Amino acid sequence: MDPDLVWMIGGKTGEGVDSAGEVFAAGAARSGLEVHTFRLFPPIIKGGPTSYEVRMSTRPLHARGDLLDCLVALDNDTVTRHGPALRAGGVLIVDDPKVSAPAPAGAARCAVPLTTLAAQAGDAIMKNMVALGVSARLLQLDLESLRGAVGKRFHTKSRLVQDRNVAAVASGWEHADLHLSDVSARVQWNGARPSRETAPRYLLSGNDAIALGALAAGCRLYASYPITPASDVLEWMAAHLPAVGGAAIQTEDEIAALGVVIGAGYAGVRAMTATSGPGLSLMTETLGLAGMAEIPAVIVAAQRPGPSAGMPTRHEQSDLLHMVYAAHGEFPRIVLTPGTLEECFLDTAAAFNLAERYQCPVIVAVDQDLVLKKRTAPALPAGDVRIDRGARLSDGEARTSGVGYKRYALTPSGISPRAVPGQPGALFLSSGDAHDDGGSIDGDDPAVRRAMVEKRLRKTTDVWKDLSGARTEGGGDVLVVALGSPCGPIREAMERLAREDVRVRFLQVRCLWPFPAHEVGPEIERARRIVVVEHNATGQLATLILTYAGGHGKIRPIRKYDGLPFTPGELEGELRALANGRA
């Protein structure tokens, strides 16, 4: 079994927990380890309980760990909250004497004067960096890699700040070297050393991958309203779109955000917004306008627990049906469901092609865990991105068709070649009101109404030529179905079971709407038992499966809706029992 260590630092927001976690993750990745992070943070900017978990291994990681090997506690509360997750034989590092809490049974307690050592290195605020030095020494991680990560983190700061932080890390390392050598054996790296030559090249979040996918696909305008966990995309776009001549606009609300995106889409520019549940709720009416007026729009929706403001900093998948059905009336839409970093990148890029080809809104449905956690990746498949602007009128065609141009022409595919404003000749009217094929509103002919409804709805019947709705792996007669971030822990649980020759089959839903019944149905039919794993209380994915693919009497739900993502261990036991016919 490959070596696998899980380290966590916890304290209060404002104590540098996040930056310590980021630096530690970067240091581990620089040393050649695969990294997978997990943050727990409160909706309190200063003084709330926060933690940053870094899981490290020499093999690619799909999920957070089940237990902790090493916990750094900057306050007593961290020991109370996360101490129980320390494995037997794990190590608790506490800031002495501030943190008095004892270690949980079976764990070693290392009392280190983190604040004092930091003050000696120049500033007590750097206790987080001292903790990193102690941790790296105990876990026998590469000090040079960690120093490099510290330097990169503070490279915009003054030389003094950089030097002090490096000194703080070194002081922690030396302290551990002198006083804690007996403890280090408990958690030390006991497998092959990672190689810096084969090191994973990048460390990035789902939000980063989404933003990069949009850029690769030619997104030039971005409009959104800040909202956790999607704000990173706004900040990323604000930093990077100007370099390609584009712009990010922070609008007054999400209604305006999608409005700007639709205006740009109507005018022929690729545009996107990203939001979470509350924002998507506000966008709902505008989503219908995109459906009715057949305007391309890309909406990234990163779910968090609802309803209402819900739990802004936590995780859930309870907006699945909202994304499928949101807005009054009936119109086609596409809802993509990436589950990995690579899929976040490629699906976002593909969303622009689909939106323009099918002239409809495309939602990239993601979740808090998927977009916030950082993972190492060898690269992103940038070379796989293609650009297809869909059926467009050339200027010559626009000029020729003139007033006879029918923007909503009734074609066999339902897709009508579109002109954009500025083209000579094809002056058309788009409307959220029901309209005929020429765009004229106020008609009441039942045959026209029926024809236009059917025209819009048949646009996406052929979408499967451009899109795969499901991804399957594994074997056996137990079928696990999921989408989004649970795919990671499911894959790890499957790997663990495979070592015991226990096999399950996994179907990752890759497109939630149109529902890929042709791909899911046969799998459902074939399976003896079906497990639908999802982060909501009412079984929204299961509802779609039952409605469109069947499975009555065979589906067993695994649902988690406490705000936290699954760990592999939470799924492993149940899958084993099912595969062995014991459940």
Partner 1 sequence: MAALTFKAFAREKATWCPGCGDFAVLRALQEACAHLDLPPHRIVLVSGIGCSGKITSYFSSYGFHVHHGRTLPIATGIKLANRDLTVLAAGGDGDGYGIGLNHLIHAIRRDVDVTYVVMDNGVYGNTKGQTSPTTATGFVTPSSPSGAVEEPVRPLRLALAAGITYLAQGVSSDVPQLTRLIEEGIRHRGFALVNVFSPCPTYDHLHTYQWWRERLVNLDGDPAYRPASREQATEAVMTRDGMIVGLVYRAEGRALDMRLPQFRPTPLADESLTPDAGAVRRILDEEHTP
What is the nearest approach in angstroms of partner 1 to the Cβ of residue 183? Answer: 27
**Contact assessment for residue 416 and residue 408, using Cβ atoms and an 8 Å cutoff:** yes
Residues with Cβ within 8 Å of residue 392, at least 6 apart in sequence = 268, 417, 418, 419, 420
What is the nearest approach in angstroms of partner 1 to the Cβ of residue 227? Answer: 17
Stretch 387-446 residues interacting with partner 1 (CB under 8 A): 387, 389, 420-433, 439-442
**Contact assessment for residue 323 and residue 309, using Cβ atoms and an 8 Å cutoff:** no
Stretch 310-369 residues interacting with partner 1 (CB under 8 A): 349
Shorter beta-carbon distance to partner 1: residue 247 or 577: 247
What is the nearest approach in angstroms of partner 1 to the Cβ of residue 577? Answer: 39
**Contact assessment for residue 139 and residue 189, using Cβ atoms and an 8 Å cutoff:** yes
Residue 500 binding partner 1, by CB under 8 A: no
Sketch the per residue contact string, 263 through 302, with partner 1: x for CB under 8 A, - otherwise: xxxxxxxxx-------------xx-xx---x---------
Shorter beta-carbon distance to partner 1: residue 440 or 472: 440
Q: Is 57 exposed, middle or buried (0-12, 13-18, 19+ CB in 10 A)?
A: buried
Residue 499: CB atoms within 10 A of its CB come to 8
Identified binder of partner 1 from the candidate list 180, 215, 480, 564, rule CB under 8 A: 215
Residue 216 binding partner 1, by CB under 8 A: yes
Residue 259 binding partner 1, by CB under 8 A: yes
Shorter beta-carbon distance to partner 1: residue 12 or 333: 333
Identified binder of partner 1 from the candidate list 61, 74, 170, 203, rule CB under 8 A: 203
Residue 583 binding partner 1, by CB under 8 A: no
Shorter beta-carbon distance to partner 1: residue 20 or 121: 20
Burial 100-109 (b: 16+ CB within 10 A, else e): ebebbeebbb
Beta-bridged to residue 56, according to DSSP, are: 5, 35
Contact region with partner 1 (CB under 8 A), list: 3-11, 195-203, 456-464, 556-564: 195-203
Burial 424-461 (b: 16+ CB within 10 A, else e): ebbebebebeebbbebeeeeeeeebeeebeebbeebbe
Q: What is the DSSP track for 350-410?
A: HHHHHHHHHTSEEEEEEEHHHHH-EEEES---GGG------SB--HHHHHHHGGG--TT--
Shorter beta-carbon distance to partner 1: residue 255 or 410: 255
Residues with Cβ within 8 Å of residue 298, at least 6 apart in sequence = 214, 219, 261, 270, 271, 272, 273, 348, 351, 352, 355, 361, 362, 364
What is the nearest approach in angstroms of partner 1 to the Cβ of residue 221? Answer: 6
Shorter beta-carbon distance to partner 1: residue 44 or 267: 267
Shorter beta-carbon distance to partner 1: residue 175 or 373: 373
What is the nearest approach in angstroms of partner 1 to the Cβ of residue 494? Answer: 28
Residues binding partner 1: number (CB under 8 A): 83
Identified binder of partner 1 from the candidate list 91, 249, 483, 575, rule CB under 8 A: 249
Residue 144 binding partner 1, by CB under 8 A: no
Residue 50 binding partner 1, by CB under 8 A: no
Shorter beta-carbon distance to partner 1: residue 79 or 262: 262
Residue 57 binding partner 1, by CB under 8 A: no
Residue 182 binding partner 1, by CB under 8 A: no
Strand ranges inside 190-303, DSSP E: 202-205, 221-224, 247-250, 271-275, 297-303
Distance CA 202, CA 192 (A): 21
Distance CA 583, CA 579 (A): 8
Residue 19 binding partner 1, by CB under 8 A: no
